[in-house]
Amino acid sequence: MPTPTPEEVKGLVGGGAGSPVIRKILDSDILHSFRSSKLTMVAATIVFLCFFGALFAPLIAPFDPFDPAKVFLSDASIPPVWQQGGDPRFVIGTDDQGRDMFSAILYGLRVSLAVGGLGVLLAAVIGITLGLVAGYMGGRIDAIIMRVADVQLTFPAILIALLIDGVAQGLFRGLPREQSAIPVLVISIGLSFWVQYARTIRGSTLVEKNKDYVHAARLVGLPAPIIMLRHVLPNVIGPVLVILTINLGLAVITEATLSFLGVGLPPTQPSLGTLISIGNKYLFSGDWWIVAFPGATLAILVLAVNLLGDWLRDALNPRLR
């Protein structure tokens, strides 16, 4: 999946101090580019539907798969309604514990998107802070932060996430898994994805900090944190929106991978990854629907998010227009 290099995203900021990208998004150019790309509109619709379904899952889903008192083992492994043995109550079948697959997917989406979204936000907050500090302060602080980032970049994100997950679970020992799983996953994802933000922000900050308006602010005597937050940040935040979107897809996949490996959400509170992991056990026995539907949902969601991210990157890049 293409991710913007610092050089590439630096171009997104455009002319410098005068053009915050937030305003650009509302610009009719962007809207026009959105309307003229059918693929993007489809992707946006899918992403919207997923978010909508996840947000209102308790209202839409016919069953509550997280409430063990309402799941009946006697309903287990019922095939989709169009197959022999199907049950009209469970349109796309049930899993090995008797949970309605459709409800489980909606609730699973909710967990996956929440974990992915919060994880990406945490990564952004960490990355932006460190990137700003590194770029603005320079010198030894910059060197330390960026070397740590370089080291982390040499490891695949999933490996870092596994490592952090292990440590965090040690810290949360004693808490039931159902309560500790989400914070642990958010921290794992947040800490393994911050590098991109930091590098991007640092690059832009290096450019911005030598501009006249920053010099002026410094001359007035404003303290460094205020200059970073009020003056530099609004001018370097643009590319982060692109990374945020693209990383959301990655984070959802990371969550699914961790859950699939058994270190994510417990089977009593399944995310999409946990559902796929459960279904995987029944691949040979012919219960294909337990793995196929959550798998397809995950694939379609991530594809749509990535298409949206790609479009956003192109739309915000003046060089490509």
Partner 1 sequence: MNLRKFLLAAGAAIALSVALSPAHAVTLRYANQGDLKSLDPYTLNETTANAHLGHVYEGLTSRGKDLKIGPGLAERWEVLDGAKRWRFYLRKGVKFHNGEDFTADDVIFSANRVRSTGSNFATRVPKDAKFTKIDDHTIDVELPSPNPIMHAQWDTWYIMSKKWAEANNAVAPTPAAATTPSHASLNTNGTGPFRIESHQPGVKTVFKANAAWWGKKEHNLDEIIFTPIPNDATRVAALLSGEVDVIEPVPVQDIARVNSSASAKVLAGPELRTIFLGFDQIRDELLESNVKGKNPFKDVRVRQAFNMAVDKETIKARVMRGLSTPSALMIAPSLFTHSKDFASPKFDPEAAKKLLADAGYPNGFEVGMDCPNDRYVNDGPICQAVVGMLARIGVKVNLNAQPKAQYFAKVLKSGGYKTSFYLLGWTPGTFDSHNVLFDIHGCRADGTPRGESNLGGYCNKKVDELTDKILVESDVAKRDAMIKEAFQITTGEFGYVPLHQQALSWGVSSKVELSQRADNSVLLYWARKN
- Kindly list the residues in this chain that would bind partner 1 in the complex (CB under 8 A): 67-69, 71-74, 76-77, 96-98, 176-178, 262, 266-268, 280-287
Q: What tokens does 3 get?
A: 């991710």
Amino acid of residue 122: L
7/67 with CB nearer partner 1: 67
221/286 with CB nearer partner 1: 286
127/270 with CB nearer partner 1: 270
Report the nearest approach of partner 1 to the CB of residue 101 (Å).
16
Residue whose entry in the numeric block shows the structure tokens 């999409």: 272
67/212 with CB nearer partner 1: 67
Report the nearest approach of partner 1 to the CB of residue 283 (Å).
5
196/269 with CB nearer partner 1: 269
Question: How does DSSP classify residue 74?
Answer: G
Q: How far is CA 50 from the centre of its chain?
A: 13
Query: Cα–Cα distance between 44 and 317 in angstroms, integer?
Result: 19
Residue 94, strand partner residues: 100
Q: What is the DSSP string of 149-192?
A: HHHHHTS-HHHHHHHHHHHHHHHTTTS-HHHHHHHHHHHHHHHH
Report the nearest approach of partner 1 to the CB of residue 93 (Å).
14
Q: How far is CA 48 from CA 36, 40, 189, 308, in A?
A: 18, 12, 23, 11
Report the nearest approach of partner 1 to the CB of residue 71 (Å).
5
Report the nearest approach of partner 1 to the CB of residue 98 (Å).
7
55/292 with CB nearer partner 1: 292
Query: Cα–Cα distance between 147 and 7 in angstroms, integer?
Result: 19
CA dihedral of 280, 111, 121, 299, whole degrees rounded to 10: 40
Report the nearest approach of partner 1 to the CB of residue 156 (Å).
20
